[in-house]
Amino acid sequence: MSSKPEIDVAGMTGVPGAAGTGSVGDNQQDMSFADMLSQLEEIVNRLESGELSLEESLAKFEEGVQLARKLESILARAESRVQEILKKEEETSNSETEELDDFSGPCKGT
């Protein structure tokens, strides 16, 4: 068994220790991946609407960048875990093939 913790993609939460300011970072720590993605989409929609003042736009942009970085970090960890699983599966498959090769010689006693 691996000593690394399993990563549950469906229920991923914010990355501990990721950069964040004020309630934005604190609030994101308890959010699921899907919730953070929805919030980022909402921020993009508000920025694209043109309804925000310059100051509000800058604050939302900063919040969106923080969310995007956290989401990217979560995806990178998940991708790393997937690669690790695939590598282990390939190694297991190769060792099983080698074991089968040991039995592929001519049968003795016939």
Residue 99 in tokens: 């074991």
> Which sign, positive or negative, has the C-alpha torsion 28, 30, 33, 38?
negative
pLDDT exceeds cutoff 90 at 6: no
More confident residue, 67 or 106: 67
SS3 17: coil
> What's the mean pLDDT in 88-103?
74
64-87 residue pLDDT tens:
999 999 999 999 999 999 999 999
Alpha-carbon gap, residue 62 to 20, rounded angstroms:
10
Domain boundaries, the chain: 22-100
- To the question of domain 22-100 being in CATH 1.10.287, the answer is yes
- Torsion angle, CA of 33/34/39/44, rounded to 10 degrees? 100
In degrees and rounded to multiples of 5, residue 60 shows phi and psi of: -65, -40
Residue 55 in tokens: 């100051």
25-47 residue pLDDT tens:
556 667 899 999 999 999 999 99
